[in-house]
Each structure stands twice: as structure tokens, then as C-alpha cells.
Amino acid sequence: MEAVAAAAQARERLRASFASGRTRPAAWRAAQLRGLLRMATEMEDEICAALRADLAKPRTESYVHEISLVTSSCKFALKNLEKWMKPKKVPAGLLTFPSTARVTAEPLGVVLVISAWNYPFLLAIDPVIGAIAAGNAVVLKPSEIAPATSSLLADLLPRYVDSSCIKVVEGGIAETTALLEQKWDKIFYTGNSKVGRIVMSFAAKHLTPVVLELGGKCPVVVDSDIDLHVTAKRIAAGKWGCNNGQACISPDYIITTKSFAPKLLDSLRKVLDKFYGKDLLQSADLSRIVNSNHFNRLKALMDEGMVSNKIVFGGQSDEQQLKIAPTLLLDVPLDSAIMKEEIFGPLLPIITVDKIHDSFALINSMTKPLAAYLFSKDSKLKRQFERNVSAGGMIFNDTSIHLTNQHLPFGGVGESGMGAYHGTFSFEAFTHKKAVLDRNFLGEAKARYPPYTPGKLKILKGVLQGNPLAMVQAAVGCTGRARV
């Protein structure tokens, strides 16, 4: 009950601040964005330390994958804020002549952002940037699974932004549930599909719109017509160089031909040896598994009877350190657990097919992924892949980096999520596009008013069909008794 009362109180305070109009001016929005930019810049050491405590995340990954992306989002929003806020003129249409028409972007109100543990700084702040740019008041609920970063955000945000309009609520399941029981103007959730369904069920009670940034099994199709060494490096960087595979856009499985698989496997082995050394578990450049529950989940996937004999590289683990080595598996059964659920860790199965085009049917037999990757020089194959594979995003000849482009939407499709953000799309995610039509008291058309007559209908049909004479008759106020 205390959690519910605290959640209700937080929401009501922010609703009062929003109702006062405090969040609407461009100056307020820009000031908060500059505050977030200063926080990310000035507190780099503290942020990196928190990420190290939560995930043993290497400083390079902490900066490149989290801090720099937050600063990039802030700068992009500041640069484009006035343009985004400016009403957009649209054609008024014949039926409403004379008039003007525009689309006005208005803030939704008080929004709830529930973030994830795998990129606990980026995935907390990036949606908040969009919510602030759109002029909303915000409650941020960081993930309790990354407690050091959650605590840091609770401490830092009030120092850098307006705490009467932007508030951090820490806690676990009880606090999150209490927040979800409240009525919000939008809920933005990043996490897995199981919790996404729970979030959506709470939102449905109040008809609250949601953005769900989920995940899925992201495939990597590898053709034989490639630069093999570059391909192996880019797959490794997107898998193990992104939080040791604990990323929603991380490559989840590879599909290649039976004839090409040995070459790809050999190249991946060499790259992993160069990146992380012979003793993989001792590498300082690999994040640890976030907690024992996820460690045991990943171990169970790897130790399943039909899978354990498919390991061709890696497989080592250290429960005390919560470390699992980069692991390659060849031709695991499609009905194994590792191929039925999102891995979200350092295990990477390689599935072989007779022909590279067979990969399309395999991918489409599963739920739609958050991202799909193809390595090939064949432009025809690329076009076929883009046309036939549905995914939240797609990259040719690399992995994961599309989220760095502020001009591209980032979001899922089907079970990998709904709604998108980043750049302009973040602003739109937290905005209502309001239609505004402005008329004066001229241009009365008697044909629109009862009593209706066949002549009036004839005039109206002419107007709708673009007949110039009918437009003139409507404008001068013909009653319909004159001929058209």
C-alpha cells in the first residue's frame, strides 16, 4: 500500500506541474536537455563506475555504447527542437475554403519510462530525452537489476534537471506494479516480451498508449560472397563487444551454408582469440552476466542434452565471477531451448542450410526479430532479404550500429515491440499531433445546410469532384434551384 500511495503522490505532483504549463516552453525543454548533456559529460567517471559495478562493463563500451549515445541524442534534440515544435502547415482542402490548416505537436502530459538493466544508463536517459523534448513531465523507473546505476540516476537527475517535472522512482516489482496501476498519458517500456505483456495489460485498463521496446532472436545470414575476416570481426563486435551478448539487438544466431560454415567458424575462432585472448574468462574486455539467475539460465541453455555436444568453441564458465566465455555452437537442433528463446548472452549458435536463400524461410518461421543482419556483396540477395524478411531494423554487412543513426527509427515489429524512438521519432513518440483548422466567417455555402434538395446535392457533388462551376455556385451561395 505504501508503494501505491507513493506512486500516486509522485504522479499527482508531476501532473500539477504539467498543468501549470511549466514544461511547455521551448526554453524549459532546452534547459533540461542541456542539463542531461552536462550530466553525461561531467559525471562520466561516476557513470562508468556504476556500469562497472552492475555489469563489469569495460569503460570503452560504457562510453561508446551508453554515454556518447546519450550526448548525441541530447545534441540532436537541441539542434532540432524549434523545428520539431513548430506547427506544420498543410493544405486546407476545397470543402473548407477559405481556411488554413496546420498540425500542432502537443505534449501528452505525464509519462512513465521503465528502463532495462543491460544498458542501464542509455536506456533510462534516451527515452527521457524524447519525453522532455516533447514537453512532458516524466517519471523514470530504472531497473533494480542494475542497482548501482539506478542509485546513481536517483542521485544525479535532481541535480541536473527540474525535479518538479522529472522524477526518479527506484524499487523492484512492488514499486513497478504500483506505478503501473496509475493512469499515465504514455508508458515507455524497455525489456522482455513477458513483462511487456504485463505492462500492456495494465495500460489497457486506462487505455494508455504504450511504446514497447522488446527483443527477439536477431538472425545473421552470412553468404559466401563476403570479406570473411571483416565479417567475423563485425559479428564478434556486435555480439560479445556489446555487453557480452546481453543486448536486444545482439546477433542471436547465424545462418550460413553447410559448405561455408567451416570457414566462418575458423575465422570467428581467430577473431575471438585476438580480441579476448586464450583465457577468455580473464579478459577485462568482456562484461559479466548480470546476476546468478541469468547465469543459471544461460548455463541451462548450454547444458541441455541435445545442445551440449554441439559446442565447437568456448563453453567455459565461472559462477563466482558470473562469467561465461564467448561460445560457438554448430548445428543445434531447431527445437532446442537455445533456438526457441532469446539467448541474451554470449552463446552463438550457427545453423547451416543447403542454399543461402533457405535462410528466409527459417527466419520467417520464428517471431519477428528486433534486427536482422545479412553479410553479402550480392545486391540482388540484399533486395530479396529486405523485401522478404520483416524485422524492426536491418543492416547489411555489419551488426548493431543502426541504433547510432539519429535519423533512423529504432523499434520492433510484432513480438519484438511496438513504436519507435531516436531522433525525430523520440519526439513523435511522446507527442500528440493535433489537427487545427482555422476559418473566418466568410465563404458560407448554403448547399451544405438543410433543407437538402436535389440541386444542393448536385452542387456538393460538383465541389467534391472539383467542378469549377459548382465551386463558384457554392461560394456565391446558390440554393440549389439554379441549374448546375
Residues with a known catalytic role: 213, 248
Cβ contact 21:137 at 8 Å:
no
Query: Locate cell 482542402: which residue?
Result: 93
DSSP 327-382: EEEES--TTSHHHHS---SSEEEEEEESSTTHHHHHHHTSPPPSEEEEE-S-HHHH
Question: Angle, nearest 10°, between helix axes 454-464 and 468-476?
Answer: 120
Grid cell at residue 48: 562508468
Cβ contact 253:288 at 8 Å:
no
**What are the beta bridge partners of residue 186?**
111
- Candidates 194, 66, 164, 166; CA nearest to 120 is 66
Cβ contact 231:375 at 8 Å:
yes
Return the number of other C-beta atoms located less than 10 Å from residue 437's C-beta: 12
Instruction: Residue count of the chain, please give it.
Output: 484
Q: What is the dihedral of CA 324, 325, 326, 329, to 10 degrees?
A: -80
Sign of CA dihedral 21, 25, 27, 31: positive
Cα distance between residue 19 and residue 214, in whole Å: 32
Q: State the DSSP code for 280.
A: G
Which residues have CB under 8 Å from 74's CB, separation 6+?
A: 33, 34, 36, 37, 40, 129
Cβ contact 77:427 at 8 Å:
yes
Helix (H, G, I), strand (E, B) or coil at 170: coil
Cβ contact 222:244 at 8 Å:
no
* DSSP E strand stretches across 127-172: 137-141, 166-168
- Candidates 322, 248, 319, 241; CA nearest to 285 is 241
Cα distance between residue 130 and residue 33, in whole Å: 9
